[in-house]
């Protein structure tokens, strides 16, 4: 096959030539080459039809002539400057200096700017260039507090036929792609607000998010926020109203791509995130804040099954792994690296490859969401981890809880308790040097509401020694200690770590299911008696039925003391988590 100068090896391989025994030659154009060059000659069903006297060299000449004539090359070089934007006008003025040693990437390669702040990177016709924010500097932030640290180079734009708008054609590569930075103070210790799965499916659920979660974090003393994917629930037109609500928090907000943020009309994974890229930029990128290095990854792999139905699996993929490998080459071994992705690490096809890239770094943390319950895994050699201590993977609670389900409360918001019995909420992460701590916060609850204690309302004195107390510590891990005592002067006794289905959630779901059934019966009765009813008003909304229960990984259990004296007692539960943070819960019980 003749060489196509100016094309990457991958793109060249997408043009395959063969000569059948018929009087025609044809070129199979595999996406995206087909989409870009079908204007060259006549096309029928994805086949470039060429007269039998034409040879392959002539066809190549036509293709090259057409593409060069339109000033669009599949491969070229981008150059630009990273500079200190002292007057914040987003343009490099003569008196503004370039910044040396700043990393810039094309999604795979990572280079440092030279002494004048200049860089050079290869680009294809599907490249997002971005600056890796260094400590003490900040990129542009738009009106919705979204960091604009990138430049999209897609001369032809996104493929046609996507349900939700992708990227409009960007045209020829600019002469210089520059990145303005401004200086800011970044302490060694700072907080980050972390959300899992906001996932509204409609404007009603965006309003629930606003009143249930966002209002209480407005003005929080966090440096920035991160959402761990499933920003919306399949309706990508909701990105904009969601961003407007999130912007009211008042801090920069970084976003991870989730499986409900995809364009489901895409042909393959390469185009499934086109709308996400239009709104948020690259789906894989990194930045420094204070002494911590953050890497956000898209580990949702879109594909179509044998029946052409959209599906997804979980993997990082070679292109992102290449970027991570090159990115980490510039990150010191003693720097904390925080990897954020959507689907839990342990469900990824190439988890071992990612762990191999992290190597034996002593300071790492990874975050995910997706499951709608909270869980902590301590990853070892079976997942490819080589460090002396297990790698901590935190599968975060969701702000949407159980997908905004459950009975409506007194203000009209569903309780949306998660499947592990924990309330919906968010995390406040504190980073200090290369150390970190995590504090779970239940939505619209006091900060010290960190557990549910399950025990009977009353019990006979002769039965206390056989009575179980079950405690769901929402942010607990197997490294937590949990103790119990009866009364203020009792002895603290250790509770046993016993993952199980939360009895509180079982009872809550049973009540919600009954309410849901009653509502369905009421609707059916009203419909049957429609002619006899004087008014046709709708029934008030009651909330959607809860989803199924899962085993909670943060439950402890113990027996009450035997032969407790009769009267009213307080059960006290005390927990200390893996970060040394303590919490206390209380429940009243009557012994008769």
Q: How far apart are CA 344 and CA 471, in angstroms?
A: 25
Range list of H helices, 221-330: 239-247, 274-280, 318-328
Which H helix or E strand runs over 285?
strand 285-289
Q: How far apart are CA 406 and CA 97, in angstroms?
A: 56
The DSSP letter of residue 345 is G
pLDDT of the chain, 592 residues: tens digit per residue: 333 344 444 443 433 332 333 332 222 223 333 333 333 333 333 333 344 444 545 444 444 444 443 433 456 999 999 999 999 999 999 999 999 999 999 999 999 999 999 999 999 999 999 999 999 999 999 999 999 999 999 999 998 888 899 999 999 999 999 999 999 999 999 999 999 999 999 999 999 999 999 999 999 999 999 999 999 999 999 999 999 999 999 999 999 999 999 999 888 898 999 999 999 999 999 999 999 999 999 999 999 999 999 999 999 999 999 999 999 999 999 999 999 999 999 999 999 999 999 988 999 999 999 999 999 999 999 999 999 999 999 999 999 999 999 988 899 999 999 999 999 999 999 999 999 999 999 999 999 999 999 999 999 999 999 999 999 999 999 999 999 999 988 889 999 999 999 999 999 888 887 766 656 655 566 566 666 655 555 545 556 777 789 999 999 999 999 999 999 999 999 999 999 999 999 999 999 9
Residue 135: half-sphere exposure toward Cβ, Cα within 13 Å:
14
> Would residue 88 be called left, alpha or beta, if left means φ above 0 and alpha means ψ between -120 and 50 degrees?
left
Q: How far apart are CA 421 and CA 408, in angstroms?
A: 17
> Sheet containing 555-559: which strands, arranged edge to edge?
451-454, 468-473, 555-559, 496-497
Give the C-alpha distances (Å, rounded to integers) separating 153 from 92, 405, 418: 20, 41, 41
Task: Judge whether 450 and 474 are in contact, CB under 8 Å.
Answer: yes
Q: Using CA atoms in the order 321, 323, 325, 327, what is the torsion angle rounded to 10 degrees? A: -150
> Sheet containing 292-296: which strands, arranged edge to edge?
285-289, 292-296, 336-340, 364-368, 391-395, 375-379
Task: Judge whether 66 and 10 are in contact, CB under 8 Å.
Answer: no
């Amino acid at each position: 096959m003749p060489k196509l100068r100016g094309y990457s090896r991958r793109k060249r391989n997408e043009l395959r030539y063969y000569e059948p025994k018929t009087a025609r030659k044809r070129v199979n154009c595999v996406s995206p080459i087909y989409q870009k060059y079908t204007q060259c000659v006549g096309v029928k069903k994805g086949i470039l039809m060429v007269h039998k006297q034409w040879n392959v060299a002539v066809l190549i000449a036509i293709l090259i002539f057409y593409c060069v004539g339109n000033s669009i090359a599949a491969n070229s070089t981008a150059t630009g400057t990273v500079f200190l934007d002292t007057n914040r006008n987003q343009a490099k003025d003569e008196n503004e200096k370039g910044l040396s040693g700043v990393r810039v990437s094309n999604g795979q390669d990572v280079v440092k700017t030279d002494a004048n702040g200049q860089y050079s990177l290869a680009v294809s016709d599907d490249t997002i260039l971005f600056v890796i924010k260094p400590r003490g500097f900040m990129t542009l932030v738009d009106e919705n507090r979204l960091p604009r640290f990138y430049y999209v180079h897609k001369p032809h734009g996104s493929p046609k036929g996507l349900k939700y708008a992708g990227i409009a054609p960007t045209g020829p590569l600019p002469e210089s792609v520059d990145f303005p930075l401004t200086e800011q103070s970044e302490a060694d210790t700072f907080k980050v607000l972390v959300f899992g799965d906001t996932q509204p499916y409609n404007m009603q659920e965006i309003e629930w998010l606003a009143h249930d979660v966002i209002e209480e974090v407005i003005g929080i003393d966090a440096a920035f926020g991160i959402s761990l994917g499933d920003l919306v629930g399949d309706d990508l037109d909701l990105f904009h109203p969601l961003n407007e609500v999130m912007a009211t928090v008042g801090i920069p907000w970084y976003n991870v791509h989730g499986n409900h943020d995809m364009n489901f009309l895409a042909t393959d994974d390469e185009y499934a995130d086109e709308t996400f890229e239009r709104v948020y930029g690259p789906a894989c990128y990194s930045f420094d804040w204070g002494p911590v290095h953050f890497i956000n990854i898209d580990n949702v792999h879109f594909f179509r099954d044998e029946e052409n139905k959209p599906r997804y699996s979980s993997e990082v993929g070679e292109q992102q792994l290449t970027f991570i490998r090159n990115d980490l080459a510039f990150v010191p071994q003693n720097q904390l690296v925080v990897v954020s992705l959507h689907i839990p690490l342990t469900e990824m096809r190439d988890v071992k490859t990612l762990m191999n890239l992290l190597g034996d770094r002593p300071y790492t943390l990874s975050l995910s969401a997706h499951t709608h319950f909270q869980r902590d895994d301590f990853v070892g050699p079976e997942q490819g981890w080589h460090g002396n201590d297990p790698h901590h993977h935190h599968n975060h609670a969701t702000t949407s809880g159980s997908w905004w389900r459950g009975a409506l409360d007194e203000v009209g918001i569903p309780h949306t308790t998660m499947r592990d019995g924990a309330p919906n909420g968010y995390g406040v992460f504190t980073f200090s040097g290369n150390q970190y701590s995590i504090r779970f916060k239940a939505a619209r609850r006091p900060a010290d509401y960190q557990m549910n204690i399950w025990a009977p309302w009353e019990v006979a004195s002769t039965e206390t020694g056989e009575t179980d107390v079950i405690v769901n510590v929402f942010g607990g891990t197997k490294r937590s200690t949990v103790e119990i005592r009866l009364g203020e002067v009792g002895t603290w006794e250790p509770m046993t770590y016993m993952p199980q289905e939360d009895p509180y959630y079982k009872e809550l779901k049973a009540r919600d299911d009954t309410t849901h059934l009653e509502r369905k019966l009421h609707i059916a009765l009203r419909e049957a008696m429609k002619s006899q009813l004087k008014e046709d008003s709708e029934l008030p909304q009651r909330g959607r039925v809860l989803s199924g229960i899962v085993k909670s990984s943060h439950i402890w259990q113990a027996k009450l003391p035997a032969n407790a004296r009769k009267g009213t007692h307080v059960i006290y539960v005390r927990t200390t988590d893996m970060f040394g943070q303590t919490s206390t819960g209380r429940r009243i019980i009557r012994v008769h």
